[in-house]
Amino acid sequence: MIIREATQSDANGIAKVHVDCWRSTYDGIVPGDFLADLSYHEAEKFWRDVLIDSDIQGFVYVAENDAGQIVGYIAGGPEREGNRPYEGEFYSIYILKEFQGQSIGRSLIAAASKQLLQSGLKSVMLWTFAVNPYRGFFESLGGKVVSEETIEIGGSRLVQVAYGWSDVSELVAKSD
């Protein structure tokens, strides 16, 4: 498995992971109509814009298998709300279901954490749904629930929680 920084040509592969993971992970959590309406084309356009925009201060890393298929990704950068004690944020992390349990998530977290440190961001947080079946992964890396909020997706109100790490270097050590 190769972990590397994403390029513009990865937009299609990232979009596939993005849509497929939302559909498999959040089935029964997020309204079915919302999941059915997710579009590979729209997701690819979004990721292409992210990867092209030189003004964005964030980063995207991908996990690529031996066949050259993108099987996971992580996106992150500076914390987006500007009102939290955490300097950095993991915006999203997803691994295709059939590739989970192979330490790919840990490898992606390690790469992203190193990038945060290189950018001078010493703490990090991420948001996930409170009912996300994979929350234990963040807890296994020492993440602590630091905030909670309710958001609306597809007409449903969903609770999301924020996990925080006050020292990214400790996260790097746990992920390597």
Please give the radius of gyration of the chain, using alpha carbons only, rounded to the nearest integer: 15
CA 128 to chain centre: 9
Please, which residues have CB within 8 angstroms of residue 15's CB and are 6 or more apart in sequence? Answer: 40, 43, 44, 46, 47
Contact 71, 13 (CB under 8 A): no
pLDDT per residue of the chain (176 residues) written in tens, 0 to 9: 899 999 999 999 999 999 999 999 999 899 999 999 999 999 999 999 888 875 567 899 999 999 999 999 999 999 888 767 899 999 999 999 999 888 999 999 999 999 999 999 999 999 999 998 888 999 999 999 999 999 998 889 999 999 999 999 888 876 66
Domains and CATH numbers, the chain: 2-175 (3.40.630.30)
Contact 70, 10 (CB under 8 A): yes
Letter string b/e over residues 75-101, b meaning 16 or more CB atoms within 10 A of that residue's CB: bbbbbeeeeeebbbbbbbbbbbeebbe
